[in-house]
Structure 1
Amino acid sequence: MPLSAFNGIWSENKEVPLFTAQKSYTLWLEKQKVQYLQQSMSLLADTKLYSKIGAADSISNLKPQQVEVTAQKGDWYKVVSDQVTGWIRPSPGKLVVVEDLNAAADLKDNANTYKYPDAFSPKVSSLGPQTVQVIGRWSNWLLINTNNGNWWIDSRHIELNSTSEEAAPEVAPEAVVPETAAGAA
């Protein structure tokens, strides 16, 4: 094919990769079996609620809260919240079982805090070295209590104090690193 034919061929075929990905996902989801659960989990970010798996339009928008998960199929979860029951398909880190923790931890270097435990979630701030109060854990993420709220931090940037389970400090003022300095770090 001559290079001059590229634009025409591209116009006719540019939708093929997206169609293929969507079809592959549909086929994968159809092969998944429903697993029935009874598990309380934390929904950590706004999430659309659907009447059924794959519905085009959501029936509600759930705010962060504790939900009862009653079933799972693939990456869809059937949840019961305070007002409604339906299916959600949360992004990674948005639906987790948070282990309660009461510990002090030393932040050795500058580190970012996030709305929920996923490096692609919205960044809240950058913290400088300090001691922080850890109130929860999920996977390799720690939930810390700050003066500006509870935020998640990657545990690779923080070291739990060995005796912190008994005597955790009060919430210390944050040493917030300006964005320009955080980007250079």
Structure 2
Amino acid sequence: MPLSAFKGICSKHKEVPLFTAQKSYTLWLEKQKVQYLQQSMSLLAETKLYSKIGVADSISNLKPQQVEVTAQKGDWYKVISDQGTGWIQPSPGKLAVVENMNATAELKDNAYTYKYPDAFSPKGSTLSPQTVQVIGRWSDWLLINTNNGNWWIDGRHIELNSAAEEAAPEIAPEGEVPAA
């Protein structure tokens, strides 16, 4: 077959890969078993709420909030929210158990800020090297408090200083008085 024929063949069959991906996902999801959970989690970005898994139309949009996760099937989560009970299919980083913290971190290089802890989430501003207040953590991500609100940064190469360490009095060697 000549190369010139490929363009016509590709345009006629361009929907085949999408159909194959959708069918593969449906088959995978059907094989998943429902796991029952009782876990409070943070919904970190707006997410659609559905009455059932896989329905076309959502019931509503959930704003960021604490939700009670009662079940999981594949990449779907059954939640109890301020708008009722339903199923969500959050993209990576939108649903997490956030550890509350009170620490600072010294940014030695520029750092991007993100709306939620995922490199593909909407970006905020770029922070120049500085000390930042860390108020939460999820996996390798740090939630920081800035003048423009709370933002996430990739914390893989950032060292934390806990507030307790910073506020701790200096301990002098035995017999010496600490400097005032």
Asked if TM exceeds 0.5, the reply is yes
- 1:119-158 equivalences under 5 Å are 119-158=119-158
| Unpaired segments ≥5 residues, structure 1 | 170-185
Q: CA deviation at 1:9?
A: 1.6
The residue that corresponds to 1:24 in the other structure is 24
Task: Call closer, same or farther: CA 1:8–1:145 in 2, change over 3 Å.
Answer: same
Give the percent of matched residue pairs that are identical in Structure 1 and Structure 2.
Answer: 85
Q: What is the distance in 2 between the residues matched to 1:145 and 1:87?
A: 30
Report the residue type matching 1:18 in the other structure. Answer: L
Secondary structure in structure 1 of the residue aligned to 2:163: coil
- Specify the alignment match of 1:49 in structure 2: 49
- TM-score, length basis structure 1: 0.86
Count of matched residue pairs: 167
- Residue 168 to residue 58, structure 1, CA distance change in 2 (3 Å): farther
- The superposition leaves residues 5-30 of structure 1 with CA deviations (integer Å, 9 ceiling, x where unpaired) of 32332232111111111111001000
| Correspondence 1:99-178 to 2 at 5 A | 99-161=99-161, 164-166=162-164
Q: 1:8-60: CA deviations, max 9, x gaps? A: 32232111111111111001000000000000000010100111000001110
CA contact (8 A) 1:44 1:95 kept: yes
Match of 1:77 in 2: 77
The question of whether the paired residues in 2 share the 8 Å contact of 1:102 and 1:168 is answered with no
- Closer, same or farther: CA 168–56 of 1 in aligned 2, 3 Å: farther
- Structure 2 unaligned segments of length 5 or more: list them: 168-180
The 2-side partners of 1:90 and 1:126 are apart by 25
Structure 2 partner of 1:60: 60
Question: Residue 86 in 1 paired to residue 63 in 2?
Answer: no
Deviation at 1:158, TM superposition (A): 2.3
Please say which structure displays the higher CA radius of gyration. 2
Identify the residue that residue 175 of structure 2 maps to in structure 1: none
- For the residues of structure 2 that align with 1:63 and 1:96, how far apart are their CA atoms? 14
Aligned structure 1 segments of 4 or more residues deviating by more than 4 angstroms: none
CA distance in 1, matches of 2:127, 2:160: 16
**TM-score for both structures, normalised by structure 2:** 0.88
Q: Distance in 1 between matches of 2:69 and 2:158?
A: 31
